[in-house]
């Protein structure tokens, strides 16, 4: 690994951390929320709009890009940054979660996973080595080790999946050829504290440039997720960024940061935007398709500084939704993404100022 990746812890307030993770495409100031660009696009949002929103990290999906248009084509086009015209840091997941979520369309063994494409039913196989090869073709700054997600409550399966994840991490490290990409190991183990601690210790020992926590926000309760984060927090290296995968409501971000998390991503803000819903910073959501908004002259959130809230009324947004205009998804996604991106920045400032506990109090559970 080159000096392209360094992590500096700039401030602490309780367990909350403000850091700086240096990558070849710029510094990530943490805490940070990453919009998800599954197929090399954040749905309904242009790269220019992402920059205006203050996004600094975007995630893309290995499984989907492997199937379409193909990782080799992306490499031919100069890699993901060039292909989708995003000049800032990028992260790719390993495809593990998507493959395992196929259920009866996939078959898992110690060597890897055989699965059928959700697009055309064709058969494919991912191994740790293949996952690294695909991600190196995609060329993001941060890539994930291939891991196995399990039912969070099923102890025996969680233990088996954790052991596979550990073995696969070592194989991913052996397979890595590019030193301009940071490989993160992933902590697994369901909701079981003993397994999670064992996994945290193993991944910490593997000495990857950062550590991801997978297999949460997959059906367990908030209390169970918080308990897992509290259990592994003391075991994770202080000098490595921590990434909680697939978690993205305002309360999840604040509660995650309070338990030592630095990086978040989630499809929720853009998915809500395509389904008529506006995320509220203080929690909850508005379904703007509802009739009472037809004559509402307020913005979504009078206290929000995003383009949507500074420009349009709830009545106009409802008109777009009822008329099935594409602009509704864009404007709602702008607001929802801004809500999480700005919340992360505000938490960072609160940590630097030593007032995170007071800032976070309305969200903490």
Which residue in 13, 71, 141, 265 is the catalytic one?
A: 265
Give the CA distances from residue 322 to residues 23, 287, 294, 298, 326, in Å, rounded to whole numbers and listed in that order. 43, 12, 10, 18, 11
Among 93, 141, 147, 252, the active-site one is 93
- Answer yes or no: 147 catalytic: no
Please give the DSSP secondary-structure letter assigned to residue 105: G
Q: CB–CB of 243/210 below 8 Å? A: yes
110 is catalytic: no
255: tokens are 């509660």
Please give the structure tokens belonging to residue 363. 């969200």
**Which tokens is 145 given?**
């080790």
Q: How far apart are CA 251 and CA 257, in angstroms?
A: 10
Buried b / exposed e along 69-101 (16+ C-beta atoms within 10 A)? eebeebbeeebbbebbebebbbbbbbbbbbbbe
- The span from the CA of 146 to the CA of 172, in Å, is 7
Q: Which residue has the tokens 């790719």?
A: 92
Q: What residues contact 224, with CB distance under 8 A and at least 6 apart?
A: 152, 191
Among 92, 90, 85, 77, which residue's Cα sits nearest to residue 48?
85
Tell me which H or E stretch contains 227.
helix 222-232
Residues acting as catalytic residues: 93, 265
């Amino acid at each position: 690994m080159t000096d392209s990746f360094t992590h500096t812890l700039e401030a602490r307030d309780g367990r909350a951390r403000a850091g700086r993770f240096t990558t070849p495409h710029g510094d990530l100031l943490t805490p940070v929320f990453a919009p998800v660009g599954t197929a090399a696009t954040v749905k309904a949002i242009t790269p220019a709009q992402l920059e205006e929103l203050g996004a600094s990290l975007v995630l893309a999906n290995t499984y989907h890009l492997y199937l379409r248009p193909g990782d080799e084509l992306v490499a031919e086009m100069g890699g993901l940054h060039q292909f989708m015209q995003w000049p800032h840091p990028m992260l790719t997941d390993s495809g593990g979660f998507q493959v395992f979520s196929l259920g009866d369309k996939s078959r898992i063994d110690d060597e890897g996973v055989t699965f059928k494409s959700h697009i055309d039913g064709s058969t494919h196989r991912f191994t740790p080595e293949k996952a690294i090869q695909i991600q190196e073709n995609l060329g993001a700054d941060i890539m994930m080790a291939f891991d196995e997600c399990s039912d969070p409550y099923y102890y025996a399966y969680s233990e088996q999946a954790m052991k596979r994840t550990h073995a696969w991490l070592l194989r991913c490290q052996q397979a890595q050829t590019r030193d301009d990409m940071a490989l993160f190991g992933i902590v697994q183990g369901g909701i079981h504290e003993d397994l999670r601690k064992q996994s945290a210790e193993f991944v910490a020992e593997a000495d990857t440039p950062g550590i991801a926590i997978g297999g949460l926000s997959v059906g367990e309760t908030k209390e169970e997720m918080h308990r897992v984060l509290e259990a592994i927090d003391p075991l994770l290296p202080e000098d490595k960024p921590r990434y909680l995968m697939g978690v993205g409501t305002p309360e999840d971000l604040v509660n995650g940061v309070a338990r030592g998390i630095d990086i978040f991503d989630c499809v929720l803000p853009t998915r809500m935007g395509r389904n008529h819903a506006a995320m509220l910073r203080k929690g909850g959501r508005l379904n703007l398709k509802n009739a009472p908004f037809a004559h509402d002259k307020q913005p979504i959130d009078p206290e929000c500084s995003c383009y949507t809230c500074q420009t349009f009324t709830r009545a106009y947004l409802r008109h777009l939704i009822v008329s099935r205009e594409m602009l509704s998804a864009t404007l709602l996604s702008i607001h929802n993404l801004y809500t999480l991106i700005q919340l992360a920045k505000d938490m960072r400032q609160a940590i630097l100022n030593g007032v995170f506990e007071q800032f976070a109090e309305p969200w903490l559970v």
